[in-house]
Amino acid sequence: MQPNLKTNFLVLILFLLNASVASAQYKQYLKDESNPTIYINGSNGVERIQVVDEKPKKILLDRTYYWYKSNSVLSTLGGIDGKMLHGNYTRFFLNNNLKEKGYYKQGLKEGEWKEWFNTGKLNKIAHWKKGLLWGTSIYYDEAGNVLKKETYTKGNLKIKKVAKNKTKSAKTPISKESKNKITKKKKDIPKVVSKKPLVKNPDDSTKKKTLTDKVMPPVKKPNPNP
């Protein structure tokens, strides 16, 4: 083997070794749960994120990526210009209650995500796959009742079910004293007697005066002394 060929062969081997080591380090970096954890204090609460100083090998133009820069979590459709979010994500209300919790994989939402009301009651459960809604999403009200269910495939809504409100308000028991008060009040209410209008008998209607009923004028007597 000629010297030039030996040199080229050694360079090729070193290049492949370096590439394999870098790839292994990248994969290990993404799997490592001890990624740097950052706390962001905002006006609406606190965010706890994990980031890596890497970028995805392939950027998908139809996916929304989340990344960290200037003490803020930013999102961009089809691009990243900062430290990529990778790992657990948690957001808190100002009262320290959980607001949102999920997982990022190479800047994209992955797996189950949950959201809460500031009272601590569950608000929403959604499932993601490579940055797209995939599976069943359930929405709740603050009383814990299911409002609706949505089923997604590759980010497209397939099935939507709105729950009918069948919940009944709990009836409070009425004490004996309150029952007695109610009965007394009912007794005190005066009965209203409806007065029916008197209907005149058609037979009692005024009759028309006949000729005999008319008053005759007085008869003049003749004067005896003409």
Q: Which of 101, 95, 87 is nearest to 45 (CA)?
A: 95
CA distance readout (Å), 213 to 11, 155, 217? 147, 102, 13
Of residues 32 and 5, more confidence is placed in 5
* 133-190 residue pLDDT tens: 999 999 999 999 999 999 999 999 999 999 886 554 434 455 556 656 656 655 565 6
Percentage of the chain modeled with pLDDT above 90: 54
- Tell me if 101 is assigned to some domain: yes
CA distance readout (Å), 143 to 54, 193, 223? 43, 48, 115
Number of domains comprising the chain: 1
- Tell me if 111 is assigned to some domain: yes
- Tell me if 198 is assigned to some domain: no
155 class by beta-carbon count within 10 Å (0-12 exposed, 13-18 middle, 19+ buried): middle
Using the predicted structure, report yes or no on whether residue 26 has a pLDDT greater than 50.
Answer: no
Please report, for the domain that includes residue 94, its CATH number: 2.20.110
Q: What share of the chain is helix, strand, coil (3-state, %, to 5)?
A: 20, 35, 45
- Provide the domain limits for residue 70: 27-162
- Tell me if 148 is assigned to some domain: yes
- Tell me if 131 is assigned to some domain: yes
Task: Report residue 142 as tokens.
Answer: 């603050």
- Tell me if 75 is assigned to some domain: yes
Of 55-64, 84-93, 206-215, the least confident = 206-215
Using the predicted structure, report yes or no on whether residue 206 has a pLDDT greater than 80.
Answer: no
